[in-house]
Chain A
């Protein structure tokens, strides 16, 4: 027979164990899961990431520092090129890639080719449903905003336009720069049409913006040098990174801005699936998102990392139901209004 005192002790111990187990979850179980994944990843030893590569080096460095037992390799190219290469490789029986860091539209053909595995990261809880693909095949983790960038030596901040309407001032005729890569122009046209209407767009085109077809970052460098003193579709991240290096430039939202988004995904036939999962967890986690937000000038999609200076109205053009058709229309309009095509 159990004594009364001993019964009390047993009951107390049971209660404490229950409380402890309640206190451990979910965080402790997440740590356990991460530790287990890390152990398995250590056995795999390697990780190959296909990426658009813009500003990813600090993230890779932080990941390497956290998991020094992994040899991380990257292949960098533009989103469309990466997607095409992954599909060609898979069709030829070569499945070497483990994870992707791409614009979401580059992941669509990969999903159609059944090359992506669903993500099971504990970090998903921090992301809004709109950031997670329906089948969890990718998660949009950061966004960049597009609006006015200018050289503060060439254009005083007070003189620079504060709204889209001010762009129509005759003093800007022939002086506004436009990043002219076809996707960027189509997105910008879409943003102006959705926010101000097509009539406004035609007036703006009559201001004869100078089209720089040199790559987004190269256009940012022209702003830094003063050669392109004001650009109406500059990336905020480029301006913030340039400011950090000492450049006299600024970025300003002068109307609804459109957001370009980047997502993380892992390959269905990854040679190193645990290392890939570890990388996805890391990229979605607070450490990587802090680097994106505080060091590189992006906005995080995490619900606990909003930027104080984010503009009120953002447009996610790729999420529009008839985006494919609209994109074709905007591209055609860009050719007619800015390049004099038929």
Chain B
């Protein structure tokens, strides 16, 4: 059979591809599997063994399933029900709002397209716990700025917007994930060839029909990948249930598990690990199903051998309304940062009022320079996050390429290895990596920023892999075949054909990993030390000391960094012809 759509071409790195004597592509596949195995399996082994190790006070630990039993019995049916409603609700809402924003930004001529991207990136720049407090200060029932304004301006009584409770949890979790959904779907929509939609329109399909039957179908690999990511992360999220759910007496599985870890004098990681393993078992079927979708040859490919002009849909009279939507979404995302921005000029946080204008100063920003830890933390944070992002993108893109182009059964190992860390709770992963490098002293990473880079590499590998994998589903193999026919080597195909074609996805993955590595708190708490301070640990120190204004000042600096990255991303995509 001639190579073509769905033919399942074998990619080989050797120039004489397909080689009958020696398949260097297979060697490359196994080398990648080995590298990923070395990176990911040791923490997973720790997770598994911790889940099966039952620790007892003043008695030796033993192997058993008690942690699983405890995790499941502690939660009960009602908490499972609430957790599922919370996870499904927040992921669907995030996909609906973020997906619409991504489609408008990538495929239409709506106003404010660049603003939406920068807003999404800025909103991802500060730790979730800081933003969570920002939301409470904004929407809290007693002195929340928005509720106060609604009561004062409109004369409303009671609590106009109820933050604490399941509805508030779903909304805030969705808002936290909108930028991620936006960022992950943007490349998929950007790389979509409009010829198919035009053909459908020419055949008499209405706009809604085109979107439902063509656009969404073509984007389905990316949509499913994003839906899975948001669902799994919502199942695992504990900041929002802790901050927003607890005051409303709503509990999820993670708050119960979090309590079980922190309730005693020794952290009980067994139940948390058992929960993580259960979650992994729960999501493995949809994960494999989504990979199968993406593997089905060129069904979703829209970038083929023929060039296309990424024409935008003219929204006509709806252009301004779409622009308002694209402006409102980022404004909602950065709202908690706005309250921190206000706080960053005050000696102590007070709700915004005209009376406080006389107290505003730059003292908090000046004081940052007096703390050598902050400068070192900024430098280490940027270096760590940059290195982690480069490594994740490099390894994940190669793994995704091999997983989507090779035909051997062993390619599934790439899917599985890259998906395992999805279920790692941050604190358990941190402990696993700590123990790993304490016992592998011949690898001199302990106590350096190298150990942080490694931990972030493991943590964010699934995201890099999913983003690249979904993007590769839209890239027809015929492009690579054409390059081979013209004499390109395997590496040449990878670097000169594949990489440029999925560059928006690679850039999105890089920025996603970079920003999340900067703001992640769970790993630095376990792994950072006096010789490798990170900006996240500095934020946590200031937070524990109650220095909200100083935290606000750092958050604003990080937001400026994120805005700069947004500008770079826009410039890069424009250079590659995928400008939004």
Contacts and interface: CB of A to CB of B under 8 A. Distances in A.
B193 to A, nearest CB: 48
B347 A218 contact: no
B133 A183 contact: no
B251 A339 contact: yes
B140 interface: yes
A81 B142 contact: no
Nearest to A227: B140
A240 to B, nearest CB: 11
Interface in B34-58: 57
Interface in A225-243: 225-229, 238, 241-242
A75 B530 contact: yes
B576 interface: no
B419 to A, nearest CB: 28
B246 A213 contact: yes
A215 B265 CA distance: 17
Given A227-B137, A342-B76, A213 B243 contact: yes
Contact of B548 (A83, A221, A339): A221
A207 interface: no
Contact of A84 (B142, B431, B548): B431
A134 to B, nearest CB: 18
Nearest to A74: B530
Contact of A227 (B144, B251, B431, B530): B144
Contacts of B129: 214
A313 interface: no
A303 interface: no
Contacts of A214: 129, 132-133, 136, 242-243
Interface string A38-74: 0000000000100001110100000000000000011
A80 interface: yes
A35 interface: no
A94 B251 contact: no
A324 B543 contact: no
A241 B546 contact: yes
Given A180-B246, A221-B349, A221-B546, A80 B525 contact: no
A109 B529 CA distance: 21
Contact of B142 (A54, A93, A227): A227
A246 B347 contact: yes
B20 interface: no
B275 interface: no
B534 to A, nearest CB: 12
Contacts of B142: 154, 226-229
Contact of A225 (B76, B349, B528): B349
Interface string B238-258: 000011001101010001100
A202 interface: no
Contact of A54 (B348, B350, B441, B545): B545
A109 B143 CA distance: 43
Given A183-B263, A211-B246, A340-B251, A217 B441 contact: no
Contacts of A80: 262, 265-267
A74 B429 CA distance: 23
A342 B73 CA distance: 10
Contacts of A154: 142-143
Contacts of A57: 545
A227 B243 contact: no
A77 B350 contact: no
A215 B544 CA distance: 8
Given A211-B246, A226-B142, A245-B348, A92 B543 contact: no
A89 B437 CA distance: 10
A106 interface: yes
A54 B544 contact: yes
Given A81-B526, A154-B142, A342-B76, A218 B543 contact: yes
A223 B531 CA distance: 35
A74 B435 CA distance: 20
B438 A89 contact: yes
Contacts of B255: 213
Interface string A197-229: 000000000000011111101101110111111
B541 interface: yes
B164 interface: yes
A81 B164 CA distance: 29
A48 B530 contact: yes
Interface string B515-547: 000000000011011110000010011011110
A182 B263 contact: yes
B531 A73 contact: yes
A181 interface: yes
A88 B348 contact: no
B215 to A, nearest CB: 42
Nearest to A108: B265
B525 A81 contact: yes
Interface in B392-445: 431, 434-435, 438-439, 441
B366 to A, nearest CB: 17
A131 interface: no
A246 B446 CA distance: 43
A183 B349 contact: no
Contacts of A338: 249
Interface in B110-149: 129, 132-133, 136-137, 140-144
Contacts of B487: none
B210 to A, nearest CB: 47
B546 A220 contact: yes
B525 A217 contact: no
B314 interface: no
Given A213-B242, A225-B140, A247-B348, 12 more contacts: A75-B529, A80-B262, A80-B265, A84-B266, A88-B434, A88-B435, A91-B438, A106-B265, A182-B263, A212-B247, A214-B242, A214-B243
23 contacts: A53-B544, A55-B545, A76-B541, A80-B265, A80-B266, A80-B267, A81-B526, A106-B265, A109-B265, A180-B246, A181-B262, A211-B249, A212-B246, A213-B242, A214-B133, A215-B543, A215-B544, A225-B137, A225-B140, A225-B350, A339-B249, A341-B256, A342-B76
